[in-house]
Each structure stands twice: as C-alpha cells, then as structure tokens.
Amino acid sequence: MSIRSLVFLILVLVIVAFVVPNWSLINQPADLSLIFSTVKAPLGLVLLGLIVVTVLVFVALMAYTQTTFLMEGRRHAKELAAQRELADKAEASRFTELKTFVAEELVRLSKERADSSQEVQARMERMQAALVQRVDEQANSLAALVGQLEDHVRGVGARSAGAV
C-alpha cells in the first residue's frame, strides 16, 4: 500500500469517526440559503455530501492521473525497446561490416604475401642463375689460365731439355 493510499484511508477513518457520534446533529434540519431561495435541509448531511462528492472527484482525478502515467510509461517502454532493438541491429550491422572488412583485409594481405613471395622467389632464381653463370665464367677463366700456365711450363721445360 502506498503512502498516498494510507493517508487517504486515515482521512476517511477520521471523517467516519467524526460523523458516527454526531449523526443526530448532522441530521437536524436547518434553513439553508441558496442565494435566490431558502431550503429546509440538514446542514451536516449537505456538507457531508459535498465532502463525499469532493473526495470522489479527487479519487477520479487521481485514478485518471495514475492511468495516464501508466499508459505514458508503457509507451515510453515500447519506444525504449524499439530504440534498443534499433541500436542492437545497428551494432550487429557494424559487427558484420567489421567481420567483412577483416576478412577482405586478410585476403588482400594473403595475396600480397603470396605476390611478394613469388617476387622474392623469382629474384632468388635470377640471382642463382647469375651466380652459376659467374662461377662458370670464373671456372672457364681459371681453366684458360691453367692451360696457359701448362703451356708455359712445357715451353720452359722443352727449352731447358733442348739446352742440355
């Protein structure tokens, strides 16, 4: 029970506690002025009726306000849920875009790595071929020098044998 309901219940009990012992005085007829005419009626009962009508109006107003707040709260909750769903979809979309971007980047990097690997392999093969060619040239040059040296040694050996 809310504090508002508790205060309302206490006020009603106080009014009832006042009315019950004074019921005979409340029911005594009196001359009441209605500005244009006069009526004989129990003043206490008229005032009690006005209090009851006022309380009923305030209870209706309180119920209307509470209902309005509840309906507005539900509307806000629905809007919040819709916005949350929108945000979740946007976040999921961003994750999907990020996943796609990362996958594309991995494919691109893999292709670049394969291309650079092929390029390095081709350079290595060219360098190996150049090295083999240089080694062959050096071997031919060395063989020619050894051949000249042999010819020179034979020529010196033949001259020394002929001189003796």
| pLDDT (tens digit per residue) in 3-38 | 888 888 898 899 889 888 988 888 889 888 888 899
Query: What residues contact residue 43 under an 8 Å CB cut-off, 6+ apart?
Result: 26, 28, 30, 32
What's the pLDDT tens digit per position in 95-150? 999 999 999 999 999 999 999 999 999 999 999 999 999 999 999 999 999 999 88
Q: Would the pTM count as exceeding 0.75?
A: no
Is residue 164 scored above 80 in pLDDT? no
Distances (CA, A) of 46 to 7, 39, 82, 151, 155: 24, 11, 53, 154, 159
Residues in the chain: 164
Distance, in Å, from the CA atom of 38 to the CA atom of 70, rounded to the nearest integer, reads 47
Banded pLDDT at 157 (limits 50, 70, 90): confident
